[in-house]
Amino acid sequence: MNLTLKVWRQNGPADSGRMVTYQVTDVSPDMSFLEMLDVLNERLILEGEDPVAFDHDCREGICGMCGMVINGVAHGEQRATTTCQLHMRHFEDGATVTIEPWRAAPFPVVKDLVVDRSSFDRIIQAGGFISVPAGSAPDAHSVPVKKDDADSAFDAATCIGCGACVAACPNGSASLFTAAKITHLGLLPQGQPERDSRVVAMVDQMDLEGFGGCTNTGECTAVCPKGISLDAIAQMNRDYLKAAK
Amino acid sequence: MNYTIGDPIRDTKAPEGPIEDRWDKRRFSAKLVNPANKRKLTVIVVGTGLAGGSAAATLGELGYKVKSFCYQDSPRRAHSIAAQGGINAAKNYRGDGDSIHRLFYDTVKGGDFRARESNVYRLAQVSVNIIDQAVAQGVPFAREYGGLLDTRSFGGAQVSRTFYARGQTGQQLLLGAYQALERQIAAGTVEMHTRHEMLDLVVSDGRARGVIVRDLVTGEIETHLADAVVLATGGYGNVFFLSTNAKGCNTTAIWRAHRRGAYFGNPCYTQIHPTCIPVSGDYQSKLTLMSESLRNDGRVWVPVRKGDDRAPGDIPEDERDYYLERIYPAFGNLVPRDIASRAAKNVCDEGRGVGPGGLGVYLDFADAIGRLGREAVEKKYGNLFEMYERITGEDPYTRPMRIYPAVHYTMGGLWVDYDLQSTVPGLFVIGEANFSDHGANRLGASALMQGLADGYFVLPTTLGDYLAGGPFGEVGQADVDEAIGQVTGKIGRLLSVDGTRTADSYHRELGKLMWDYCGMERTEESLRKALERIPELREEFWNNVKVPGEGEGLNQALERAGRVADFFDLAELMCLDALHRTESCGGHFRAESQTEDGEALRDDEGFAYVAAWEYGAGGTPVLHKEELDYEYVKMTQRSYK
Amino acid sequence: MTSTIDRGAATAVVTPRTSPPRSSKRPGARHGRRHGFLRSSNGKKAVMAVSGAVLVLFLIGHMIGNAKLFLGRDTFNSYAEWLRTVGEPALPARTVLTLTEIVLAAAVVLHMWAAVSLARRAAKARPVKYAAKRKSQAGGYVVRTMRYGGVIIVLFVVWHLLDLTFGVVNPKGFAATPYDRVIAGFDPSRWWVTAFYVVALIMIGLHLRHGLWSAFQTLGLAGGRSRHLLNAGAAVLAAVLVLGFLAVPIAVTIGAVK
Ligand SMILES: Cc1cc2nc3c(=O)[nH]c(=O)nc-3n(C[C@H](O)[C@H](O)[C@H](O)COP(=O)(O)OP(=O)(O)OC[C@H]3O[C@@H](n4cnc5c(N)ncnc54)[C@H](O)[C@@H]3O)c2cc1C
Ligand code: HEM
Ligand code: HEM
Ligand code: SF4
Ligand code: F3S
Ligand code: FES
């Protein structure tokens, strides 16, 4: 198949950036989206042009490194899928595909489709952990955990930190990401001692980084490759109100 | 390519005495660093995977000044995140006869008697603490209705000792380590440098004292000095281009350290994983693993008849060959990886493979779905099935999966002693980057165990012992300048060639060559061919590669080219190591050395040693042998029949 | 070109950096510093939800009150009278009504303040817009009307007060009884007023369609199955309110109530 790509090119944080159109031919439907971009880049390199910079690593949907807004949808229209797992069989021959980086002030563009997501790390630094020095842990069976709680904690913990939620949210809010961690740790008995301080610190950090507030539009969960549910945000709100009292 | 034989390695620093007491003894004999001094000691940890992440967090907590590096944009993205199946620990929570000794025994045997007993025993001992640590950190392992931890049996083990978090165990364990690391970053004990790639090691006065890194965003070359350096940079399976590793996995860090004097242990030991999604075309950029845990419930088969191209559903039961169950009745579908991989290769070589190019076998869940119901299967493997469906466009609930072996893990790596210290004093190597505790073959669910054992428990003790021997004096400016010169020289060269082929295209060609000649089956002939071809290709690479752009700023093509350049050098050493080891063992199968029924035939007389290669100044590597003694496990021919 | 950093036991030579390290924390982005409930996005959201809930309660009461219009002029007028005299003689006239008005005014102000400050925060969080039209993946039509819908509601309330409370724009003026004002206000000749009410109420309906369950979510009271129930409940209540309110002006305009 043949495609017309409109790709955001930006030569660095200071550059103002622009959309550039490329034609790609002979795309196989079995290719992943990133493999399609690889093909484009190989060609650009040989033509002496600057290849399109994009983040990626595992290419199996788990590291959270990849991510672009494809035709206006974070990670593309295929549900519950990261960009690296999106395959070209979901596109039509001759289609025009628009590719843009995540857009949010706390995710400044580094180059082309690469953005800086270190704000997420700082949200975790604020409290997204359980303090336990190596070697100080009690036997793993000393604290049983209800299976349902363990399963729900796991569901929240599967967040890969990709940032699609922020990219999709009309408010540029990081609520889903932040709430996923708060929910994961808050549901486990091990997470109780720091539960209150964690939620306050993480929500504050989220604000300080310049993310928007959530107005429950639900766009985030719809694009989230791991299907993190809005329940997480409700949980965060509940914990926050309780802790901030 | 030639090599010379150097002095054997006699002392691995493992304490004497009964094996159960050795780690205790070492811990007690290790010198301690006064807390006030810890603050003044800087430790560099390169890599933030399970090994590096846990090490940096623990060292920070202990009070050292830690500088941590990774090439991704966040430490959470290290390749450990992709591990699916689980982590072993000798907890014996099931009461099914597991014990530290049994885990030790299984691991030594699984490694085909090419691992060090003392290390493996320690690994089995520490495994127990890892689970405690992870649970306390909030790792949401699978649980049973009673609220206690669930376990499963995994690749080659007859006891149920594998702890897991659905198909995302590596992710959950890594997030635990990552969160502990972020906590230390917030506390100011760890200084994190993301998007930084280590390009050289600074050795001064015979000791590892720092690293040269490139800031991948600005392109700036930076020097970071310390009192000790820890490498936790993962495996080098990407030398094959196609592997289950992440795209960025590289050998650069350990290869540069090797060039600066660290011996490289058993480079040829590569693990080929039996259950990966087969290659679909030549644009393919990586292979995806389907967790080994699938073999617990899935049955592997191929058609009895050659070239049978009926749809799988149309092939009647009696025309299917469940070859693993047939050949290995005791272990069936659960035989270790090396065995399962080779068996798949054999049936495909016989022309009974399925799917495009006949390079695939079926992994069938029809029985499991019939027995447990679709819902139970979905609960257990849902995310894996989904991943398969994404990639292939086929529905594994109604049509058996197609799988084929792919490069997965490298047992080889930098040689380290019992203290995890390389032959360069002050350079410690942990996780998959070292030549590890897995001998010639790694059992499923034991890499995560090793990485965390190294990072949380072993390194923090042994590193302290080394640091207590300081201070080590000033780092010579000349040593720093020389290393910077090397790095900038190489980058300059890569950028100036301006040839006609991309680095990726060379990488692809090198990978194909390695897969064909140094892959699942190796022969003297194939290895000699590889050793002839690799230098030619490397020569061509250096004269004809095209790297666009410049050294300043983000230049992903340049990053890749630098990694490919190092893969060439490593590939050569791998082939040399494979050529010199004329026996078959574990993941290293020399066609010349097999039993009558086609199993790997070891040569314990000739090869019960670790091959530790010293970088040859004149291009000729020097082989140092570390003899392996087996006091506690009797060497036997491995049999899973 | 070298400087020396002191590390106590060991001293090492380092080449100074040419650029400052990208620090792991942004200036100002210090964690651990509580910056107050009302300044946090979550706090603002809670204010929005609580004030919105107050407004909703008022709307429910108001709708029921309006329905008394169908019971005839006297019932309705005495109801309006009762509103002003309830609590007497223990309390001076209009106490309860004034209190209600204060609460309402406060709710509106807080609600608007939170809405505006969250909207400004959101605008700052996405300074660069997407080139491709961002497609809603969550059926977000209703959601996207929240902000300008809110503005329309305010304009409506202003008109409504001028019309029916102060009688400024009402043909019968302030002196008339409430009943008469309503009948006159929605006189068939003033069909455009009714039309404006219809439009405004549809906006209110949409606002509540989202706002009702959203408030529960914001207060952390929605979760799992209850979200689906709340969502359905919000749709029903929003519809009841819209229809209930519209019954009066429409009935007057078509002449069913005179
Ligand atoms: C798909 C898959 C599934 C697996 N499943 C299992 C399993 O179920 N159970 C199990 O036990 N094992 C499993 N393994 C193996 C296991 O995941 C790895 O061996 C282990 O995670 C390696 O951890 P590590 O910390 O040594 O390295 P990694 O996690 O690979 O981390 C390497 C780190 O080094 C950094 N780095 C690398 N090079 C440089 C450089 N030049 N400069 C700076 N930084 C650098 C990277 O940024 C990264 O942070 C699996 C492996 C794969 C590929
Ligand atoms: C003054 C004009 C108004 C403005 C600008 C306004 C704006 C908003 C906005 C922006 C939201 C957040 C949307 C979201 O959560 O997605 C909201 C929520 C809400 N509004 Fe309004 N609104 C106004 C008037 C009203 C009125 C008159 C009512 C009630 C009758 C009301 C009830 C609600 C409720 C219940 C919510 C849900 C609160 C929440 O989401 O937490 N609003 N409003
Ligand atoms: C469409 C049908 C409506 C009718 C017939 C109606 C009628 C009235 C009348 C008659 C009054 C004056 C009461 C008095 O002075 O005693 C009034 C007051 C008021 N109405 Fe409405 N109304 C309607 C809808 C609404 C809506 C949708 C809102 C809000 C969004 C609203 C908000 C108010 C307010 C705030 C007052 C002033 C209350 C006070 O003074 O305490 N009304 N309405
Ligand atoms: S919540 Fe979902 S979309 Fe957001 S970072 Fe996590 S995985 Fe990505
Ligand atoms: S899209 Fe944004 S508004 Fe809230 S529900 Fe998700 S964070
Ligand atoms: S590249 Fe890892 S999630 Fe896409």
pLDDT interval class at B85 (50, 70, 90)? confident
- CA C217 – CA C208 distance, rounded (Å): 14
Query: Is the pLDDT confidence value at A101 over 80?
Result: yes
Query: Is the pLDDT confidence value at C135 over 80?
Result: no
Task: Name the token pair of B86.
Answer: 């689980």
| pLDDT attached to residue C140 | 67
Task: Name the token pair of B290.
Answer: 């389907």
Residue C142 backbone phi and psi in degrees, to 5: -60, -40
C35 to chain A: nearest residue by CA? A204
Residue B208 backbone phi and psi in degrees, to 5: -75, 120
Q: Which of B172-181, B447-456, C94-103 has the lowest mean pLDDT?
A: C94-103
Per the CB < 8 Å rule, is C131 touching A8? yes
Average pLDDT over residues B258-271: 97
Average pLDDT over residues C152-171: 90
**pLDDT tens digits for B236-258?**
999 999 999 999 999 999 999 99
3-state secondary structure (DSSP) of residue A33: helix
**pLDDT tens digits for A175-232?**
999 999 999 999 999 999 999 999 999 999 999 999 999 999 999 999 999 999 999 9
pLDDT interval class at B321 (50, 70, 90)? very high
| pLDDT attached to residue C168 | 87
Which of B101, B96, B103, B107 has the alpha carbon at shortest distance from B638? B107
Which of A225, A239, A103 has the alpha carbon at shortest distance from A159? A225
Domain C41-122+137-253: top CATH class: mainly alpha
3-state secondary structure (DSSP) of residue B426: coil
pLDDT interval class at B156 (50, 70, 90)? low
Q: How many residues does chain A have?
A: 245
Average pLDDT over residues B72-100: 96
Optimal mutation site among B223, B224, B467, B554, interface C, most CBs of chain C within 10 A: B223
pLDDT interval class at B463 (50, 70, 90)? very high
**pLDDT tens digits for B60-82?**
999 999 999 999 999 999 999 99
State which of A103, A123, A166, A214 you would mutate to test the pocket of ligand 5, scoring each by most atoms of that ligand within 8 A of its C-beta: A214
Cα R_g (chain C), whole angstroms: 27
Which of B406, B419, B336 has the alpha carbon at shortest distance from B118? B419
Optimal mutation site among A1, A35, A60, interface B, most CBs of chain B within 10 A: A60
pLDDT above 90 covers a percentage of chain B that reads: 90
Burial class of residue B372, CB neighbours in 10 A (0-12, 13-18, 19+): middle
Q: Which of B350-359, C3-12, C246-255 has the lowest mean pLDDT?
A: C3-12
Which of B354, B347, B445, B419 has the alpha carbon at shortest distance from B392? B354
Q: Which of A3-7, C21-25, C172-176 has the lowest mean pLDDT?
A: C21-25
Average pLDDT over residues B307-312: 92
| pLDDT attached to residue C165 | 86
Q: Is the reported ipTM for this assembly greater than 0.85?
A: yes
C23 to chain A: nearest residue by CA? A118
Residue type (1 letter), C79:
Y
| pLDDT attached to residue C26 | 44
Tell me how crowded residue C38 is: count the other CB atoms within 10 A of its CB.
Answer: 13
**pLDDT tens digits for A108-154?**
999 999 999 999 999 999 999 999 999 899 999 999 999 999 999 99
Which of B216, C151, B240 has the alpha carbon at shortest distance from A116? B216
Query: Is the pLDDT confidence value at C19 over 80?
Result: no
Quick one: CA torsion of B300, B305, B308, B313, rounded to 10 degrees? -50
| Residues of A whose CB is below 8 A from C219 | 237-238, 241
Query: Is the pLDDT confidence value at B415 over 90?
Result: yes
Query: Is the pLDDT confidence value at C22 over 50?
Result: no
Q: Mean pLDDT for chain C?
A: 84
Optimal mutation site among A69, A120, A207, A236, interface C, most CBs of chain C within 10 A: A207
Helix and strand numbers (H, E) in chain B are 18, 21
Counting from 1 in the atom list of ligand 4, the atom nearest the Cα of A176 is 1
Q: Mean pLDDT for chain B?
A: 95
pLDDT interval class at C25 (50, 70, 90)? very low
Per the CB < 8 Å rule, is B136 touching A132? yes
Average pLDDT over residues A91-99: 97
Q: What end-to-end distance do the CA atoms of chain C give, in Å?
A: 95
**Nearest-CA residue for atom 32 of ligand 2:** C52
Query: Is the pLDDT confidence value at B18 over 70?
Result: yes
Per the CB < 8 Å rule, is C122 touching A172? yes
pLDDT above 90 covers a percentage of chain C that reads: 59
DSSP state letters, A105-162: TTS-EEETTEE--HHHHHHHHHH-S----TT-PPPGGGS---HHHHHHHHHHHT----
Per the CB < 8 Å rule, is A218 touching C140? yes
**pLDDT tens digits for C35-77?**
688 889 999 999 999 999 999 999 999 999 999 999 999 999 9
Residues A65/B72, Cβ–Cβ less than 8 Å: yes
The C-alpha of C62 sits at a distance from chain A's nearest C-alpha, in angstroms, of: 27
DSSP annotation of B453 reads I
Which of C39, C54, C35 has the alpha carbon at shortest distance from C109? C54
What phi-psi label fits residue B46: left (phi over 0), alpha (psi between -120 and 50 degrees) or beta?
beta
| pLDDT attached to residue C134 | 72
Task: List, in sequence order, every residue forming a beta bridge with B57; answer none if it has no partner.
Answer: none
Q: Which of B97-101, B224-228, C8-12, C222-226 has the lowest mean pLDDT?
A: C8-12
Per the CB < 8 Å rule, is B225 touching C19? no
**pLDDT tens digits for B593-631?**
999 888 899 999 999 999 999 998 777 999 999 999 999
| pLDDT attached to residue B280 | 87
Per the CB < 8 Å rule, is B74 touching A120? yes
State which of A102, A159, A175, A221 you would mutate to test the pocket of ligand 5, scoring each by most atoms of that ligand within 8 A of its C-beta: A175
Q: Which residue has the higher pLDDT, A92 or C34?
A: A92
Burial class of residue B97, CB neighbours in 10 A (0-12, 13-18, 19+): exposed
Residues B169/B87, Cβ–Cβ less than 8 Å: yes
Residue boundaries of the structural domains of chain C: 41-122+137-253
**Nearest-CA residue for atom 3 of ligand 6:** A61
- CA B372 – CA A75 distance, rounded (Å): 34
Task: Name the token pair of A214.
Answer: 């959530």
Segment 118-147 of chain A within 8 Å of chain B by CB: 118, 120-121, 124-126, 128-141, 143-147
Average pLDDT over residues B333-349: 90
| pLDDT attached to residue B383 | 81
Residue type (1 letter), B123:
L
State which of B44, B54, B74, B79 you would mutate to test the pocket of ligand 1, scoring each by most atoms of that ligand within 8 A of its C-beta: B79
- CA C13 – CA C6 distance, rounded (Å): 9
Task: Name the token pair of C119.
Answer: 């909207």
Nearest Cβ partner of A103 from C40, C128, C224? C128
Q: Which residue has the higher pLDDT, C186 or B1?
A: C186
Query: Is the pLDDT confidence value at C102 over 70?
Result: yes
DSSP annotation of B590 reads B
Query: Is the pLDDT confidence value at C32 over 60?
Result: no
Query: Is the pLDDT confidence value at C1 over 50?
Result: no
Query: Is the pLDDT confidence value at B30 over 90?
Result: yes
Average pLDDT over residues B201-213: 98
Alpha helices in B409-502 (DSSP H): 447-452, 459-468, 477-497
**pLDDT tens digits for A56-94?**
999 999 999 999 999 999 999 999 999 999 999 999 999
Neighbours of chain A (3+ CB pairs under 8 A): B, C
